[in-house]
Amino acid sequence: MALKQISSNKCFGGLQKVFEHHSVELNCKMKFAVYLPPKAETGKCPALYWLSGLTCTEQTFITKSGYHQAASEHGLVVIAPDTSPRGCNIKGEDESWDFGTGAGFYVDATEDPWKTNYRMYSYVTEELPQLINVNFPVDPQRMSIFGHSMGGHGALICALKNPGKYKSVSAFAPICNPVLCPWGKKAFGGYLGTDPNKWKAYDATHLVKSYPGSQLDILIDQGKDDQFLSDGQLLPDNFIAACTEKKIPVVFRLQEGYDHSYYFIASFITDHIRHHAKYLNA
């Protein structure tokens, strides 16, 4: 599990680095970005995992969201992995933008030919955190997760499937109910097979219904002018209804005029970092 540093840039007193390593889980070379705040020079910091959306790489978040200042101030190590295995030479992996490369959907694939490499769920919840805990000054007891769109879906399921593992969770325009949306149906069908009951294990709205009730504070921002919202890809209302019923605390903010882009993320990234810092630095 040797890490290879690809880049390192000073940013808000800390360092934005990118590493490459060979992933056992994904059976390929993977890159991830890690931001080390100034505080990490002297002590262990909480770790905050960011999961990006469709088509993104480890670069997208670190170049577009402008999260560094807030992370620097709150002293958070922010880790942004890639969104899928790459270069696995699986037939059809690069055919569409919403399936295969750049569209891992944070599930462990059970279907051939994907099941060898497309194990993003295990990668982000197990392999990557172990790697980070060993190689960087982070406190393993304090970690949180957030993401955007498909990454928002990933963040929600990671938190809901692992009660207590993450101190907090938040999401920008997450795919809240993938089993009911076109993206989810396509991806889950491809990775998990045709039985929709299997899909529910990776569906946030379904997971909420069986969530045991460990305290979890969920913050969701959603642009009101997000075309995928109106296309029915995101379905936050289903998630909110489920959370209301199960009394799982969610603050859902429908932001007037914002779309699905990183401009929207950049507008509220500080709120999200603060949301996590509140629990990670409590």
Q: Which residues bind another protein (CB under 8 A)?
A: 215, 217, 219, 224, 240, 243-244, 247-256, 274-275, 277-278, 281-282
Is the bond preceding residue 129 a cis peptide, omega within 30 degrees? no
Comparing CB distances to another protein, the nearer of 109 and 280 is 280
Comparing CB distances to another protein, the nearer of 193 and 249 is 249
Q: What is the largest CA-CA distance in the chain?
A: 50
Active-site position among 149, 168, 170, 267: 149
**Smallest gap, in angstroms, from Cβ of residue 212 to another protein?**
16
Comparing CB distances to another protein, the nearer of 1 and 241 is 241
Comparing CB distances to another protein, the nearer of 194 and 244 is 244
Tell me whether residue 149 is one of the annotated catalytic residues: yes
**Smallest gap, in angstroms, from Cβ of residue 257 to another protein?**
11
Other CB atoms within 10 Å distance of the CB of residue 58: 23
- The amino acid at residue 120 is M
**Smallest gap, in angstroms, from Cβ of residue 252 to another protein?**
4
Asked if residues 15 and 52 have their Cβ atoms less than 8 Å apart, the reply is no
Three-state SS for 103?
strand
Comparing CB distances to another protein, the nearer of 78 and 131 is 78
The β-bridge relationship of strands 138-148 and 77-81 is: unpaired
- The amino acid at residue 222 is Q
**Smallest gap, in angstroms, from Cβ of residue 74 to another protein?**
8
CA separation for the pair 85, 29 (Å, rounded): 8
Comparing CB distances to another protein, the nearer of 2 and 213 is 213
Tell me whether residue 112 is one of the annotated catalytic residues: no
**Smallest gap, in angstroms, from Cβ of residue 253 to another protein?**
5
Structure tokens at 90: 């699986």
**Smallest gap, in angstroms, from Cβ of residue 254 to another protein?**
4
Tell me whether residue 22 is one of the annotated catalytic residues: no
DSSP string, 8-76: EEEETTEEEEEEEEEETTTTEEEEEEEEE-GGGGTS-EEEEEEE--TT--HHHHHHHS--HHHHHHHT-
Q: Given 3-state DSSP classes, what are the helix, strand and coil percentages for the chain, each rounded to the nearest 5?
A: 40, 25, 35
Structure tokens at 230: 């109106």
Active-site position among 203, 226, 272, 276: 226
Active-site position among 74, 260, 275, 276: 260
- Residues serving a catalytic function are 149, 226, 260
